[in-house]
Structure 1
Amino acid sequence: MPAKIVMIGGGSGLPVIVKPLVKKDVDLTAIVTVADDGGSSGLLRNYVNIIPPGDIRNILVAMSSADQSLLDLFQYRFKTNDDFLAKHAVGNLLIAALTEMTGDVSEAIAKLADYLKINGQVYPVAKEPLILKAQTTKGEELTGEAAITAAHQALDHVWVVPNDDVVDQDHAIEANPEAVDAILSADMIVYGPGSLFTSILPNVVVPGIKEALQATPAKQVYISNIMTQKGETDAYSDAEHLAVLDRHLEKNVVDAVLTNQTEVPEDFVDYQRWGEISTQVKQDEEGIEKLGAKVYSRDFLLLRDAGAFHDGEKVAKELLALLGDD
């Protein structure tokens, strides 16, 4: 029986690892945040009151074996001068339509997964849109993922609250049961890669998810980012990233940290083009080990498009090697 790997995150980092992993003999599940409130996802969550579809769309495409022309259509984003449809991706509109047609986001995703011939499962961390909140290290409170990212401020912690249109003030946020079951039955949990405070932690802090991550017998792996994020994680080492994750989980659950050992050439990265990144993440093996995790320092670097990214194939190979160590 294939090993069950659950990946937790959002944004553009997760698909990089998902794409090569779906080609391996594993049972792959992606759990994605529902707190995105920027761009097409933000507009749709406000107008149609659905979970933001962007991260789900990107993971579906990464897992798909459908014809590339269909995937290109699914990912097509209308031009900004197309006033009514400006910024919307076709796939986001399809997720919104199917959610409205079926009345259930899980059923909508399952239908699209069938159309796109995906190899794996995609679960939103909750079945309702959530609002991400953050407190800066100076005590200021920020509201909304887009605003948090744009603020470029050092953050202390994040949490989620119900969407503004929830009338019942006592409304309790509930984790998607499918996501909880996947975590509890997994052989391996993988966090990231992705923005620590706005892609990974918005999943971790959802009530029910945190408890499942504390209880699962799965091996847990954190993929450290290659570059820090401006303001939020400036000068963070890989150990400091892990410490923040542990603090939000309220338990040291991570068994292994994959960290890039290859230096990013100083003159390669276009910092103006990649405006959210700051500097290369520093390695701190001793700090990681003090948090109870083992360090796997490798060459995971892929230089492209004037930026520094993870080499998905190399990361996937390392994850499978870690599974073999059990």
Structure 2
Amino acid sequence: MKKPKIVVIGGGTGIPVILNSLRRENVELTAIVTVADDGGSSGKLRSAIDIVPPGDLRNVLIAMSDMPRFYEKIFQYRFNEADGPLSGHPLGNLIIAGVSEMRGSTYNAIQMLTQFFHTDGKIYPASEKALTLHAVFKDGFDIEGESHIAEHKGLIDHVYVEETATGKVPVASRNVVQSIFDADTIVLGPGSLFTSILPSLVIPEIGEALRKTQAKVIYVCNIMTQRGETEHFSDSDHVRVLHEHLKMKFIDTVLINGEPVPKEYMNSNKFDEYLVQVTHDFKGLKKEGVRIITNNFLELRNGGAFHNGKAVCEEILRINEYRNK
């Protein structure tokens, strides 16, 4: 039997959990990673040497690699605040930046590093150029930069991206569009709706490919609402926003966590961006034309609520198997 081709699109800390579980299965796995991060170490590096921000790519590289735990700790080591210009930089970001300079682009660097770290699958930045994310709010304000969006009070109407250096409409990286057309299943998220998932989808070529692909599209809905992005959002609101941005009801299935998050468990100091559990609106979801799968996808860890990668992975494989019967 041929291996099912699964493409995961997103960024942040959400998709590495899913990728780490999927890579252990008998699938052809591809990750398409957002490149609009302008904060922290990634923001400093993209400003200093004009590269695609490496942070999300670093986390995906580790998630899809079989590198020993010791190597992972080295790659993730973050210089402390007393280290001057190196302060706050993970060693892995500096390695990606150095190889990007050596190989001429971050795209080429990631292809080289996937071999170096024996990665199970392919990793592509959504674009080969660093992108600037814009959020247009309901009040008309256009806020530039992912790291500034949550600071503005109000509701986001829509987001768009442009090439940071030129202001031009971005194009997709090599092989990204073909991967979407070749896929059996495409997984969106989990991750921040406006700053981790949509920055890749609003690249025109990627959005068009998602509208035309024959693959089944699965959206892994967030467990918690997020400050400055999805306050007061239900699960149907998340899906509606995705459909509105691509001007089409392109999502086939939504995975929803049905397990309650204990309020007393959440560490509001450590995870201050997360507010309350996403509410369920099954009537609204049906209006969006999606198949709904509700299960216990919750993993409580370190004072936060996360997706259980194994449980989500099992559901994705079940959907893919059902599709191919």
User: TM-score, normalised to structure 1's length?
Assistant: 0.96
Find the aligned partners of 2:149 and 2:104 in 1 and give their Cα distance: 31
5 Å matches for 1:245-260? 245-260=242-257
SS of corresponding position for 1:151 = coil
> In the aligned structure 1, how far is the partner of 2:216 from the partner of 2:129?
29
Moved more, 262-271 or 24-33: 262-271
What residue number does 1:268 align with? 265
Q: Distance in 1 between matches of 2:64 and 2:238?
A: 27
SS in 2 for 1:325: helix
Counterpart mapping for 1:187-198 below 5 A = 187-198=184-195
1:2-13 alignment, distance < 5 Å: 2-13=3-14
Change in CA separation of 1:280 and 1:152 when aligned onto 2, cut-off 3 Å: farther
What's the CA shift string for 1:90-136, capped at 9, x where partnerless?
Answer: 11111111111111322211111111111011110000001000011
Which of 177, 184, 188 is the equivalent residue of 2:181? Answer: 184
Following superposition of structure 1 onto structure 2, how do residues 1-326 of structure 1 map, counting pairs within 5 Å?
A: 1-151=2-152, 153-163=154-164, 165-166=165-166, 171-326=168-323
* Unpaired stretches in structure 2, ≥5 consecutive residues: none
State the distance in 2 between where 1:110 and 1:152 align. Answer: 40
Cα deviation, residue 182, structure 1: 0.7
Give CA deviations for 1:55-109 in whole Å, capped at 9, x if unaligned. 0000000001122211111111111111120011111111111111111322211
Equivalent residue of 2:151, what SS?
A: helix
Question: Following the alignment from structure 2 to structure 1, what is the Cα–Cα distance between the partners of residues 301 and 154?
Answer: 27
SS at match of 2:187: strand
Check the 8 A contact 2:161/2:169 in 1, yes or no: no
Q: Write the deviation string for residues 10-35 of structure 1: whole angstroms up to 9, x where unpaired.
A: 00011011111100001111111110
Amino acid at match of 2:313: A
**Alpha-carbon distance between aligned partners in 2 of 1:101 and 1:185, rounded to the nearest angstrom:** 31
**Relative to structure 2, which stretch is displaced further, 262-271 or 293-302?**
262-271
Aligned partner letter, 1:37: D
SS of corresponding position for 1:128: coil
Is the CA contact 1:183–1:213 (under 8 Å) kept in the aligned structure 2? Answer: yes
Distance in 2 of aligned mates of 1:5 and 1:202: 20
CA displacement at 1:177 relative to structure 2:
2.7
Ranges in structure 1 where 5+ consecutive residues have no aligned partner: none
Alpha-carbon distance in 1 for matches of 2:113, 2:62: 10
Provide the aligned C-alpha RMSD in A.
1.1
Query: Structure 1: how far apart are the matches of 2:235 and 2:265?
Result: 22
The farther-off stretch of 196-205 and 174-183 is: 174-183
Contact 2:51–2:105 (Cα < 8 Å) also in 1:
no
CA contact (8 A) 1:210 1:249 kept: yes
Letter in 2 for 1:7: V
User: Quick one: distance in 2 between partners of 1:46 and 1:73?
Assistant: 24
**C-alpha deviation, 1:152, in angstroms:** 5.4
SS for the counterpart of 2:237 is helix
Q: TM-score, normalised by structure 2?
A: 0.97
Assess, with a 3 A threshold, how the Cα gap between structure 1 residues 152 and 71 changes in structure 2: closer, same or farther.
Answer: farther
Q: d(CA) in 1 for partners of 2:307 and 2:144? A: 30
How far residue 151 of structure 1 moved from its aligned partner, in angstroms, is 3.2
Looking at structure 2, the residues matched to 189 and 150 of structure 1 have their Cα atoms a distance apart, in angstroms, of 32
Q: Are the equivalent residues in 1 in contact too, given 2:7–2:186 (CA < 8 A)?
A: yes
C-alpha distance in structure 2 between counterparts of 1:172 and 1:38, whole Å = 21
